[in-house]
Chains A and B, each alone.
Chain A
Amino acid sequence: MPLPATTGLGFKPQHFQDIRATRPDLGFFEVHAENYLGAGGAPHAMLTALRQDYAISIHGVGLSIGGPQIDLAHLSRIKALCDRYDPDSFSEHLAWSSHGTEYLNDLLPLPYTPETLDRVCDHVDRVQEVLGRRLLLENPSTYVIFAQSEIPETDFLAQIARRTGCGLLLDVNNVFVSCVNHRSDPLAWLDAFPLDLVGEIHLGGHDQEDLPSGPLLIDAHGAEVAEPVWALYAEVLDRAGALPTLVEWDNDVPEWHVLLAEAQRAATLLADARQHAAAQ
């Protein structure tokens, strides 16, 4: 079952008691797969309890789909996790994070070439085959450009989705961060992006540094969603209608009510989008 077209929040263990006590009106919670690969204990007890009340999205950060090899040993553990919780969505990133046996713990960029496109498609095929479920692949935030890139990012993602049958996870903050960093127009990026293949939206906060040529935005997930990202999100909803929307806040995690307020802001925009669609 796909995620409901409502708001979700990234689950943090420190919010568990608040969530159990208040049963907030949210469509889903999302967890990072890598935090739930232990044998037992509190993480599984909490996820099991959440699963009873909410739709669940499992979001992987470690398969290294954009690198030379995906980590097959890790993939088999992800499969066991998905088999155990039967999440409503599983998603991963267009990025690489492992080099040989070494895990680098960051979502690193790749050049967009016919060769890397073939490789990523092979990896997505493999992931979907092993998991027995459709993957949503997330657009990255990037800070540099590869000289050898010859395919626009939007085409690259669209071709992966068409060739593998995977869906796309549209991270609106990542679109904004990358476009500002590479001095391009986020609306033009959206124009070229296949919104009909989007199964989930991510919103998150970013940091800003100032370089001689202008701002350098960093996808830090440690603050409120920025105003221009909310505006871009409203634009996405205007074009695509209501979509499952997650607010991510992974660093300097705030108190529950702060996070919930972010989700409520997204819920208001989603309600507007539904109303707008109904009026047409």
Chain B
Amino acid sequence: MQQHSDSPADFTPAFRAALAGGDLPDFVTARVPDEAAIRFAVYRNNVAHSLREALARRYPVIRRLVGAEFFAAMAGEFVAAHPPATPVLQEWGDAFAGFLAGFPPVATLPYLGDVARIEWARGLSYHAADAMPMPPRRLTETAPLRLHPSLQLLRLTHPAFDIWQANQPGRDGKLRGTGPRNVLIWRRPDFEVEAMAIADPDADFLQGLMQGQPIAQAAGSTNPVPILTLLLRHGLICDKETRS
């Protein structure tokens, strides 16, 4: 990014400071000068509100877990600490999981960071590059597989998948037991993003494939069929990265 201008005529530093709550610059006025502050507040609200809303769209389950009001306040803290560095807002907010881990008011909810990782990864999958599926007949046990760019494996500490799933729209939020802590996320050919929890041996196998190991090596003593079936069924084994 470019260096910031040092021109004394640059009005933006004072305007920016006022957006963050600082004093109104003396050059900002209105037809009725007494109303300059209340008019300027429209900009202040637009910036704060639009970024809070953008974060809420990316992290709907976190918002549900902590409540809308708390989320809005927390989002304000996050925006101040990690403002977007790009106009492409879908690329902003990856620091949220780490922020949650270090935010004292949510210290009693240690799983939030892992839930946030799932929500972030789903967004990455949604926007990931397209790739053409490979016909199953070309599958070999000995060559590395090229996996779909949307495919991600999260190996988490907390049962975040179960929490995430219980807090989807229409669900009551109640946790009915917890399963594995490895979460597989991918995009289907119809562009829906999916997530599921998978057991440790399956996750180990998949991790090997993602690191470029051929099927036989990655599988070891694990039965590779369930994971390979899933990958093939959803078009996740690809010829090459290309726009379809």
User: Which residues 138-155 of A have a CB within 8 angstroms of B?
Assistant: 143-148
CB pair B7–A68 under 8 Å, yes or no, is yes
Known A-B contacts A39-B129, A40-B243, A144-B30; A104 and B19 likewise in contact (beta carbons under 8 Å):
yes
User: Which residues 14-56 of B have a CB within 8 angstroms of A?
Assistant: 15-16, 19, 26-32, 35-36, 38-40, 42-43, 46-47, 50-51, 54
**Closest partner residue, chain A, to B84 (CB atom):** A103
Known A-B contacts A68-B4, A69-B2, A73-B1; A38 and B43 likewise in contact (beta carbons under 8 Å):
no
Q: For B85, list chain A residues within 8 Å (CB).
A: 101-103
Pick from B42, B86, B126, B187: contact of A218, CB below 8 A.
B42
Q: For A96, list chain B residues within 8 Å (CB).
A: 12
CB pair A101–B26 under 8 Å, yes or no, is no
- Distance in angstroms between the alpha carbons of A69 and B2 in the assembled complex: 7
CB pair A213–B84 under 8 Å, yes or no, is no
**Closest partner residue, chain B, to A207 (CB atom):** B42
Of B87-95, B160-168, B198-206, B213-221, the stretch lying at the interface with chain A is: B87-95
Instruction: Determine if A212 is an interface residue (Cβ-Cβ < 8 Å).
Output: yes
CB pair A42–B126 under 8 Å, yes or no, is yes
**Closest partner residue, chain A, to B86 (CB atom):** A103
What string of 1s and 0s marks CB contacts (under 8 Å) between B77-101 and chain A? 0000001111111101000000000
Known A-B contacts A104-B19, A106-B47; A38 and B27 likewise in contact (beta carbons under 8 Å):
no
**Closest partner residue, chain B, to A43 (CB atom):** B127
Instruction: Determine if B9 is an interface residue (Cβ-Cβ < 8 Å).
Output: yes
**Closest partner residue, chain A, to B15 (CB atom):** A108
- Distance in angstroms between the alpha carbons of A182 and B36 in the assembled complex: 11
**Closest partner residue, chain A, to B92 (CB atom):** A103
**Closest partner residue, chain A, to B126 (CB atom):** A41
CB pair A41–B128 under 8 Å, yes or no, is yes
Number of interface residues of A (CB under 8 A): 54
Instruction: Determine if B150 is an interface residue (Cβ-Cβ < 8 Å).
Output: yes
Pick from A71, A105, A145, A216: contact of B38, CB below 8 A.
A216
Q: For A68, list chain B residues within 8 Å (CB).
A: 4-5, 7, 10, 12
Instruction: Determine if A72 is an interface residue (Cβ-Cβ < 8 Å).
Output: yes
Instruction: Determine if A99 is an interface residue (Cβ-Cβ < 8 Å).
Output: yes
Pick from A34, A40, A144: contact of B39, CB below 8 A.
A144
CB pair B35–A212 under 8 Å, yes or no, is yes
What string of 1s and 0s marks CB contacts (under 8 Å) between A143-172 and chain B? 111111000000000000000000000000
Pick from B40, B92, B130: contact of A144, CB below 8 A.
B40
CB pair A106–B43 under 8 Å, yes or no, is yes
Q: For B84, list chain A residues within 8 Å (CB).
A: 102-103, 105
Instruction: Determine if A255 is an interface residue (Cβ-Cβ < 8 Å).
Output: no
Pick from A41, A44, A71: contact of B87, CB below 8 A.
A71
Q: For A211, list chain B residues within 8 Å (CB).
A: 32, 35, 38-39
* B169–chain A nearest beta-carbon distance, Å: 15
Q: For A71, list chain B residues within 8 Å (CB).
A: 1-2, 87
Q: For B7, list chain A residues within 8 Å (CB).
A: 68
CB pair A182–B1 under 8 Å, yes or no, is no
Instruction: With A39-B128, A99-B16 given, name 5 new contacts (CB 8 A).
Output: A34-B89, A62-B86, A73-B1, A102-B84, A105-B51
7 contacts between A and B (CB under 8 A): A35-B90, A38-B127, A41-B125, A103-B83, A105-B87, A143-B39, A216-B38
A-contacting residues of B (Cβ < 8 Å)? 1-2, 4-5, 7, 9-13, 15-16, 19, 26-32, 35-36, 38-40, 42-43, 46-47, 50-51, 54, 83-90, 92, 125-130, 149-150, 187, 191, 243-244
Which 4 residue pairs of A and B lie closest in terms of their CB atoms, listed nearest first?
A: A62-B87, A38-B127, A40-B130, A39-B129
